């Protein structure tokens, strides 16, 4: 009887494990296959709400008691098959993409789980072992990522070699751009400045890692390209050094150092060191001199490189873009070379960094002013529009850092009409030890600017709610961004303004 029970419960656990396997595989894909990510997110999800706490405790108890009473293992099957509640199998915003890497990882992790369950059956404790195996699927996936990583690196090397050879053949001037934030905006602004004079090719969207950058070179870099603008991102030390090893920039740009991805880096000092790897092969370094850490680091860069200091605040920087109300003054080497209309939602420090590169590449003052007037906001980054209902919409959903969030609230305060002002946000993530306080501070500011603060999801709900108490805004909590949009449609009318500040995929609680 015990053997029959073991077999049946083992099959039930493996069946339930399929749902968990699909959930956690989707999570690790969204986290770029970083080992440890699945376990970290499992911890977040299982304690995100009381029903999930009950389910995981039932699952643990079921796996333990099934050692003696196999039928109790069904409790684990139910818990793992149905939970954590809120994390769907299919995904609302980020469905699983069955790439070669995902398929390899899926087959390996499934094989390990089935093998462990089979060994348990042979030993007469299949129910307990299979229950434990499906509980530990996040850990199994993380371990499989470690195993698969060297093979993935080897598989990707062919594309990297092809990209390196193409760069060597075309020989464009490579401009590498990195920073905690502002990379994509600066890249796009620079492309706008250069394309009247050069054939400039920018890496698309956020293709800023090894595979993405290699793909950008292989697919986008034409034989006639004069300049290749490469956005370079990193989650830790050594990654950018690897990028510049085969895609060495002549000009390196550093836009900002902040707490974005701080939980991965550990400290801002490590962040600065990792981002500074972009300067190692460069002849010229352009920095946002308004950033305190970059300003201090600039003295070191200046010893071996040409240093260009860009600013949105000081006219004595090498390049400055200064706010003059409805227009911006462009200052180069202390001389104002012209003015352009100000553009809501565009960060002047990013424009200044782009102009710094344009100066190095030899654009005339007239060309710089003419092309700077064509700069526009990057999609989903502080863009302003009007819905059919007449509600003004500020879309900052691709922004996730404290400095950008502050700028968004300032824009809401400036451009919001005399109607109702609403902020919709899930808060900011991956800020490490600063995440709670950063979200609390943001909500406190938002509650003073807006009439209503709509908190989306659970990840930062407590921090945002506590911060909002420092202002006068009403606070509404919703489960998803779709719920928030429905709230906006039901409550706002013409001349009201809504700011959508940040958004993240549904693999977050």
**Angle at 326 (CA atoms; ends 320, 332), nearest 5 degrees:** 15
5-15: pLDDT as tens digits: 899 999 999 99
Residue 509 has pLDDT above 60, yes or no: yes
Please compute the mean of the pLDDT values over residues 363-385 and round it to a whole number: 90
Report residue 347 CA to chain centroid gap: 19
Instruction: Return the CATH number of the domain spanning residue range 171-372.
Output: 3.40.1190.10
127-169: pLDDT as tens digits: 999 999 999 999 999 999 999 999 988 888 999 999 999 999 9
What pLDDT is recorded for position 43? 95
Q: Which string of b and e fits 486-500 if b means at least 16 CB within 10 Å?
A: ebbeeebeeebbbbb
Please compute the mean of the pLDDT values over residues 179-205 and round it to a whole number: 92
What pLDDT is recorded for position 211? 87
Nearest to 140 by CA among 94, 107, 166, 163: 107
Q: Where are the domains of the chain?
A: 2-151, 171-372, 383-501
Nearest to 249 by CA among 330, 190, 318, 290: 190
Residue 206 has pLDDT above 80, yes or no: no
Q: Are strands 383-386 and 335-341 parallel, antiparallel or unpaired?
A: unpaired
What is the rounded distance in angstroms from the CA atom of residue 52 to the CA atom of residue 297? Answer: 46
User: In which band, very low, low, confident or very high, does the pLDDT at 359 lie, cut at 50, 70 and 90?
Assistant: very high
Q: How far is CA 486 from CA 383, 395, 478, 479, 482, in A?
A: 21, 16, 10, 12, 6
What pLDDT is recorded for position 2? 60
Residue 195 has pLDDT above 50, yes or no: yes
Residue 1 has pLDDT above 60, yes or no: no
What is the rounded distance in angstroms from the CA atom of residue 395 to the CA atom of residue 381? Answer: 6
User: In which band, very low, low, confident or very high, does the pLDDT at 188 lie, cut at 50, 70 and 90?
Assistant: very high
Q: Topology of domain 383-501, per CATH?
A: 3.90.190
Residue 500 has pLDDT above 90, yes or no: yes
Mean pLDDT of the chain: 92
What pLDDT is recorded for position 433? 82
Please name every residue paired with 327 in a beta bridge, in sequence order, or none if there are none.
341
Residue 477 has pLDDT above 60, yes or no: yes
Residue 344 has pLDDT above 60, yes or no: yes
The pTM of this model reads: 0.85
């Amino acid at each position: 009887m015990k053997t029959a029970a073991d077999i049946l419960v083992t099959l039930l656990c493996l069946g339930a494990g399929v749902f968990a396997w699909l959930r956690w595989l989707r999570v690790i894909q969204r986290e770029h296959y970083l080992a440890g990510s699945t376990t970290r997110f499992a911890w977040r999800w299982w304690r995100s709400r009381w029903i999930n706490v009950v389910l995981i405790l039932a699952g643990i108890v079921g796996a333990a008691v099934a050692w003696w009473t196999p039928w109790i293992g069904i409790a684990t099957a139910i818990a793992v098959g149905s939970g954590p509640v809120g994390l769907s199998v299919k995904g609302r915003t980020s469905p699983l993409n069955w790439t070669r890497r995902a398929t390899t990882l899926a087959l390996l992790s499934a094989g390990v789980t089935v093998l462990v369950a089979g060994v348990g059956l042979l030993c007469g404790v299949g129910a307990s072992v299979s229950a434990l195996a499906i509980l530990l699927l996040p850990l199994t996936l993380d371990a499989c990522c470690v195993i698969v990583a060297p093979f993935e690196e080897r598989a990707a090397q062919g594309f990297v070699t092809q990209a390196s050879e193409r760069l060597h053949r075309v020989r464009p001037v490579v401009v590498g751009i990195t920073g905690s934030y502002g990379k994509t905006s600066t890249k796009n602004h620079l492309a706008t400045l250069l394309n009247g004079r050069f054939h400039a090719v920018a890496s698309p969207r956020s293709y800023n890692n090894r595979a993405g950058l290699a793909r950008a070179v292989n697919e986008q870099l034409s034989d006639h390209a004069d300049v290749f603008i490469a956005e370079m991102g990193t989650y830790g030390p050594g990654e950018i050094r690897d990028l510049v090893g085969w895609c060495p920039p002549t000009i390196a740009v550093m836009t900002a150092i902040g707490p974005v991805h701080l939980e991965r880096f550990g400290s801002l000092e490590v962040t600065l060191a990792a981002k500074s790897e972009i300067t190692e092969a460069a002849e010229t370094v352009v920095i946002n001199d308004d950033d305190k850490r970059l300003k201090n680091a600039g003295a070191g860069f200046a010893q071996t490189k040409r240093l260009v200091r860009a600013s949105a605040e000081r006219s004595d920087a090498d390049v400055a873009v200064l706010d003059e109300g409805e227009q911006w003054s462009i200052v180069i080497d202390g001389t104002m070379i012209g003015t352009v209309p100000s553009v809501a939602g565009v960060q002047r420090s990013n424009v200044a960094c782009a102009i710094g590169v344009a100066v190095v590449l030899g654009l005339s003052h007239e060309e710089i002013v003419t092309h700077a007037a064509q700069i526009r906001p990057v999609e989903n980054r502080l863009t302003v529009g009007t819905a059919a209902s007449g509600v003004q919409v500020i879309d900052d959903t691709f922004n996730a850092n404290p400095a950008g969030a502050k700028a968004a609230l300032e824009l809401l305060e400036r451009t919001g009409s005399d109607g109702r002002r609403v902020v919709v946000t899930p808060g900011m993530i991956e800020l490490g030890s600063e995440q709670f306080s950063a979200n609390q501070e943001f909500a406190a500011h938002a509650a003073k600017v807006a009439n209503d603060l709509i908190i989306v999801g659970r990840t930062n709900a407590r921090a945002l709610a506590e911060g909002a108490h420092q202002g006068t805004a009403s606070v509404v909590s919703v489960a998803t961004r779709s719920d928030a949009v429905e709230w906006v449609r039901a409550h706002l009318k013409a001349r009201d303004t809504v700011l959508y500040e940040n958004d993240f995929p549904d693999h977050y609680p």
